[in-house]
Structures are given as C-alpha cells and as structure tokens.
Chain A
Amino acid sequence: MPIKQKMTLVILVTCSVVVLLACAAMGGYQIFQFRTRLMRETTVLADVLANNTQAALAFRNENDAKETLRALEAEPYVNSACLYSSDGMLFADYSQLQGKATFPDEPPADGSHFESSSMVVVRPVMLNKKRIGTIFIRASLQEIYDRVKFLGVFTGLVLLGCGLVARTLAVRLQRSISQPIVNLTEAVRALAERSDYTVRLPEQGRNETGSLTAAFNHLLASIGERDKALRGANQSLCQSEAQVQAILENLNDGLIISDLTGQVTSFNRAAMEMHGFTCMHECHQLSEYAKTFELSDLDGTLCPVEQWPLARILRGERLRNLEVKIRHSQGGWRKVFNFGGALIHDSNGQPINAVLTVTDITERHQAQEEIHQLNSQLEIRVQERTRQLEEANKELESFSYSVSHDLRAPLRHVQGYVQLLTVATNGHLSTEAREYLQVISDASDDMGHLIDDLLSFSRTGRTELKTERVRLDELAQESIRVLELANRDRNIVWKIEALPAVLGDRAMLRQVFANLVGNAVKYSRPRDPAVIEIGCAGDEGGRAMLFVRDNGVGFNMKYLPKLFGVFQRLHKASEFEGTGIGLAIVQRIIHRHGGSIRAEAALNQGATFYFTLKLAAPEQALTGRNDELCLA
C-alpha cells in the first residue's frame, strides 16, 4: 500500500476510533443518565401511585385503583403496571396494550431491575407505616433504544463527517511528510531503472526529510561521481584489455598463462602456432603435455615433466632464457624454444597465475650451430692460412735476404772485374771493345739499382709500422733540403704551405716525401723556373688531404692505371732516369697507413699527387721536435 494511502488510513482510523470512542462514551453516559433518571422518575411515579392507591387498596376499591393506574396513560413510557394487595394477589392492573400485559403471579421483591426490554420498579404501598400492598410498574426501555439508535446514526454521521474532513486534511497535510518520501522513492526508482545519477531532489527545509533529502542528494552526487569514475575506469580497462589482447595476439613471441594447478588458461596465437595447435582446447593440462611433447636440454638430455618450464615456474622459479629442445611425439617435428616466465602475484603477494613466454629460436639455434661450426672451421683455416702466410713471409724474408746478399755480389764482381780488365789491358782494347765493357758496366749498375729498389719496395711491405705523431712540415723541409743540395744548378721556386701533424711511421713518411718531391724535381727539370707546391687541401673524416704539385712534363691521364705499378715508367730512361719503383713504394706506404693516393696530370702541364693521412691530435705543448729537426 502506498505511503500516502497508508498515512491517510492511519489518520482516518485514528480519527474514527477517537470519534467512535467519544461518541460511545457520550452515548454510554447518556444512556446511563437516562436509565438513572428513568429509574428515579419511575420510582417517584411508583411512590406517587402508591400514595394515590392507598385508599383504593385500603378499601379494596378496584375501580379506583384502576382509575388511578389509568393516569399512567400520561406517561407513555410506562408499559404496564399493577397493584398487588397485601396478600400478594393481583388487585388492579394497567396496560398500554389492552390486556396484553403479563404480570408475575406474586409481587417481586421491592426495588428495581431490568428485564429484557423493560425496567421493573416494585414499591410497597404503605399506610400508617403498614404495608398494604405492592405497586409494580414496568417501564419501557424503548426510548433508550431509540436514543441508542439515534446515537448510532449520529455517531455514524459524525464519523462520516469527521472522516471526510479528516481525509481532506490528511490528504493535504500528509503531503508535507509523504511527498519527500514519495519523491525519494521515485528518485530511487529512477535510479534503479535508468541508473540516472543526475536526479536531484528539491530541498526540503531543515527537518528530518530535509536532512534525508540532502543526504540522499549528497549520496547521489558521490555515487554519480563514483559511477562516472567507475565507468571511466571500466572503459579504460576495457580498452586496455582489448589492447592487451591485440598485443598478445600480434606478438611474435608466444605467451602462455596458466593457473596455479598447471591448467593452461590462455595461449596466444604465436604460442599456438609454435606448438602446432589449431584451437584452444588442444592446449591441455601440463601433465597432458608430456604425452604430446618431449623436452630436452640443448645437449639432448631428456627433461622429466617436473623439470619442464611451467612446472618450474609453478614451484616459484623465475625463468630467463631457458633454451630447450622440443619434439612433437606424433608430428615428429623438432624445434628449439627459449622459455621465460614467472608467477604473477596480486597486491598481497599471493600468486595468482603463471606466465610463460616462448620464443621459437630454432632458426637462430641452427644458425648459431652453423656459425659455431663455421667458426671452428674458420679458426682452423685461419690458423692454417696464418701458418702458410707466416711460412711464406719467412720464405720471402729469407729470399729477399738472399737477394740482398747474393744477387748484388755477382754484379759487383762484374763491375769490378770489368774495371780490372780495363786496367789490365791498359789501353790495348779497340774503341768498340771499350764500349762493350762500358755497356756491361752500365747494365750491372742498372741491375744493382733495380735490386736495391726491389728490396726497398719489399721492405715497405714487410716492415712493421711504428706509428707516432709526425709533423709533415719537418719531413717536407728535410726532403727539400736534400734535393736542393743535389740540384743547386736548378732554378726551383718552392711554395710550401703549413702542413699538419699526422699519425704514421716517420721513416716511411719521410720516404713518401722524398719520392714525391723527388719526382716533382725530376720531372720539372725542363722548366725554368720549376714551381713545386706542397700543401694541404683540407681534411675529411679525420684525414688530411695533402698534395705535391709541379709544373713539369706531367703525363697523359690514359696511362694513369700504370702510374703506381712496380717498375712501370711513363718516360724513357733517356729522358728521365729511374726504375719506376718510387710511386709503387709511395702507394704501398700510403695504403699501409690506411690512406689513399691519386694523381692528376696533363701532358706538359705538370702533375699533382694527392694523398690522405690520418691527422694527429693537436699537441698540447711543443716537445723536442724542433731540436730533432735541427739535427736532421
């Protein structure tokens, strides 16, 4: 039943009961008063009648008695009355309803009492203090009944009226109490049906419902906020879960999640593919795996199930890069997996589940094994080659040692003995013969130079580099000084730029400058003045680009490929002396220093040689280099 009706009913019932009780009390009191009055009046009447009938009774005048009794007609409430004589015999009677009244045969005891629908009053008739008879009056209670009836109707009407008024008032008054509750109810219903936390109840003042409403509103607001936050959190949770799911599915690595009993709860796509599963229900309990798969160490030792990665994780181990061979007992395939994983704990540190990552490293493993094999083979081959090279080097060394010693001696002898022959013949030889001897001498001279050059070239290849900081300024000046001494008759203009310090073998670099500057001097012999430039054309990647330029005879660029070859010459021996080893040595030295060399030239327009050398770190303080320069 709605609270409105209930309240109305409560008010109505209360009112009705109150009215009823009031009416009943009033009615009861009135009836009681009426009866009392009736009894008193009837008693008085009986006493009056007793007085009036004294004589008739005393004289036994029945008619008088009856006449007197008939006076009762004026009292309509008296139903009947009678007189008993002193002997108890009915003497006279009266009845409103002609002759239909019944009287007791003997007079009852004095007093009054109520019968079913009437009241009986019995009074003595006294004469001179002597009882001469008894008067009996029966009064009707009809009036009481009428009054009761009237009271009932009245009460009913009052009740009705009260009820209507009460209802009207209740309906109006209960609103101030029930309306907030109804509103609250509706709000709660709306809340329950639509989960609408934006509903707010109107303020209700400072009474209990007001507090309740305010509290409810506050509760709604906080629920609304929580709901919003919860929705947000839920949404981001959903998003991140979707994201995680997408990540898991697209991972190249396998991911397996199991509960603490070893029952697999999740297998991502990669893990399924790796195991050759096509659907989730193939992924069984850990113990079931043993029937499908066989795991072993990399060295081939079979792993018992209790040593399998998941079993180890379930025992609390944290796995990392555990490489295991796996074989499908039916499918027959073999793979190598890399396992990792650990137990996942909740915020209380209690394990929730186990996570296992799997990477298929079969190919890598194979490649590694191949590499390993190749490496060991390579190692052997390298050792073999190194040994061969060492041998070859040793042979080469002893060869060049022998050449150095033994090839030169016969040449010297040829020369020496040609000379001795010239002396011994003492001018007896023909001019022709002397010319022949000169040719023999010159040829052996040439061969001596060739051998020297060859040995020098061979040495630049074999000698170990002694890398140090070398100031190229010094080397350039040294080479110029030597060449100027040998060419005092020449007109040479030197243009020397500032040169950097480089890292290299001082003796070898000295050779580079000697050869390049030497060439420049040699091939500019027809020029007057010869102009020779030495400079630095910049640096790149920590290497300086140096150059030596002359205005000499140059060469045709089509012969460039021959330029740095051993004993390759671009000029006739009759024009420019030389064996053709200088540039080969220069190139070899530059290459051994990790640099490069190239030439630019044009016939009769000079030549420029560019070469690169590694720059040295700038020197903090000058050392004794200058002194060395002076001594050199």
Chain B
Amino acid sequence: MKSLKSVLFVDDSPRDTKLALTAFKEYGLTNRIITLEDGEEALDYLYRRGAFADRDDEQPAFILLDLKMPKVDGMEVLRVVKSDPALKMIPMVVMTSSREEQDVVNSYKLGVNAFIVKPVNFKEFVDAVKMVGGFWAVLNEPPSI
C-alpha cells in the first residue's frame, strides 16, 4: 500500500480551483490537495521557504500548474523545477485555458509531463481533471525521490 502523497494545484483563479476541487471530490481522490495561487507560492512550497519554511511533509505526487499567473508564471515554475535535479522527478502537468502552440511547445521543451487544455464544457472539464488525477496520483508510479 503506497502512502498517499499530496497533489499540488497551482492556479490564480479561485473559481477554477473550486471547480477542480469539486471534480477531484466527485472522482473520489483521497489525496490531500494543496492549492496555491501563483508561481511564487508554488516555488516557496517546493523549496520549503517563506510561508512554507517549516513544512516537513513529502514533496507532492504531482503538480497541476496553470500557465498564466501573476508574479511568477507557470512556465517559470516549470523551468525551475525541471532544471533542479532534486525536483525534476516530480511529474508536472500543465492545465491551462490556452491551446496556443507556443505554450505547448515551450512546455514540452522544459520537460512537462503532460499538457491539458481546460475544456470550456464543465462535464469535459470534470472528466479531464478526473483523468489527470486518476492517472498521475493513482496509476502513475513515480520514481522514489
């Protein structure tokens, strides 16, 4: 039985966050979901600094990352995490409103593990979140860090 790691959800839109959490709940994902609102918080969390300086739990099972965020955007977070040997093993899934080719290409260049366009249709959105959560948090076997 594997220990349940947390899932890091980084999105500046509380509405999206709530929808995502609803979708996770509907799917029945039991992992703890940590929601953050921008890239800076995400990096602080991952590097255990600032508000998260005394965090002592494991690194998340995977990170769901929006691209367009205030302060440090998703692409920067991706770049930092994927260039850090200590963090690059954490699966990272970009989940964004945009289907811009440049975003897809750049994300893959930086080493993203999956790129998902948030569907406008709620049902499709829920399906997408369920699928992502189910795959990366349950099915996927990450290397032990």
Contact = CB atoms under 8 A, between A and B. Distances in A.
Contact of B16 (A401, A409, A420, A447): A409
B58 interface: no
Nearest to A444: B120
Interface string A381-413: 000000000000000000011001110110111
Nearest to A403: B98
B115 interface: no
B19 A405 contact: no
Nearest to A412: B120
A60 interface: no
Interface stretch (B1-9, B37-45, B86-94, B121-129): B121-129
Nearest to B99: A404
User: DSSP majority for the B interface?
Assistant: loop
Interface string A437-459: 00001001101100010010001
Contacts of B121: 415, 445, 448
Given A416-B122, A445-B121, A405 B96 contact: yes
A418 B120 CA distance: 12
B109 interface: no
B101 A463 contact: yes
Nearest to A452: B99
B120 A448 contact: yes
A419 interface: yes
Interface residues of A, number: 25
Contacts of A419: 122-123
Interface in B63-112: 67-68, 96-101
Interface in B6-23: 13, 15-16, 19, 22
Name the residue among A418, A419, A441, A455 with the largest chain B CB count within 10 angstroms. Answer: A419
B19 A416 contact: yes
Interface of A: 400-401, 404-406, 408-409, 411-413, 415-420, 441, 444-445, 447-448, 452, 455, 459, 463
Contacts of B13: 409, 413
Given A416-B125, A444-B120, 7 more contacts: A404-B98, A405-B68, A409-B15, A412-B119, A415-B120, A419-B122, A447-B120
Contacts of B123: 419
Contacts of B99: 404, 452, 455
Nearest to B22: A420
A471 B92 CA distance: 37
A445 B125 CA distance: 12
A459 B99 CA distance: 11
B80 to A, nearest CB: 21
A412 B68 contact: no
Interface residues of B, number: 20
Name the residue among B67, B121, B122 with the largest chain A CB count within 10 angstroms. Answer: B122
Contact of A413 (B16, B68, B100, B119): B16
A399 to B, nearest CB: 12
Given A409-B97, A455-B99, A417 B15 contact: yes
A296 B103 CA distance: 64
7 contacts: A405-B96, A406-B97, A408-B98, A412-B19, A413-B19, A415-B120, A416-B15
A445 B97 contact: no
Contacts of B19: 412-413, 416-417, 420
B101 A412 contact: no
Contacts of B97: 404-406, 408-409, 412
Nearest to A446: B120
Contacts of A452: 99
A459 B101 contact: yes
Name the residue among B19, B98, B99 with the largest chain A CB count within 10 angstroms. Answer: B98
A448 B119 CA distance: 9
A58 to B, nearest CB: 197
Interface of B: 13, 15-16, 19, 22, 67-68, 96-101, 118-123, 125
A239 B15 CA distance: 102
A401 B73 CA distance: 14
A413 B97 CA distance: 11
A408 B118 contact: yes
Contacts of A417: 15, 19
A445 B100 CA distance: 19
Contacts of B22: 416, 420
Contacts of A459: 101
A416 B126 CA distance: 9
Contact of B122 (A405, A415, A447): A415
Given A416-B125, A444-B120, A459-B101, A405 B67 contact: yes
Nearest to A418: B122
Name the residue among A405, A418, A441 with the largest chain B CB count within 10 angstroms. Answer: A405
Nearest to B98: A404
Contacts of B101: 459, 463
Nearest to B13: A409
B98 A405 contact: yes
Name the residue among B22, B100, B101 with the largest chain A CB count within 10 angstroms. Answer: B100
Contacts of B98: 401, 404-405, 408
A413 B15 contact: yes
A447 B120 CA distance: 9
A544 to B, nearest CB: 28
Contacts of A406: 68, 97
Contacts of A413: 13, 15-16, 19
Contacts of A415: 120-122, 125
A517 to B, nearest CB: 22
Nearest to A400: B100
A405 B102 CA distance: 13
Nearest to B67: A405
B122 A401 contact: no
A580 B121 CA distance: 20
A419 B23 CA distance: 12
Contacts of B118: 408-409, 412
A412 B125 contact: yes
Nearest to B117: A408
Name the residue among A400, A401, A413, A448 with the largest chain B CB count within 10 angstroms. Answer: A413
A535 to B, nearest CB: 32
A412 B122 CA distance: 7
B130 to A, nearest CB: 14
A441 B120 CA distance: 10
Contacts of B125: 412, 415-416
B84 to A, nearest CB: 26
A411 B120 contact: yes
Nearest to B119: A412
Contacts of A404: 97-100
A403 to B, nearest CB: 9
What 4 A-B pairs have minimum CB-CB distances, sorted nearest first?
Answer: A448-B120, A404-B98, A415-B122, A419-B122
A408 B100 contact: no
A59 B121 CA distance: 220
Nearest to A459: B101
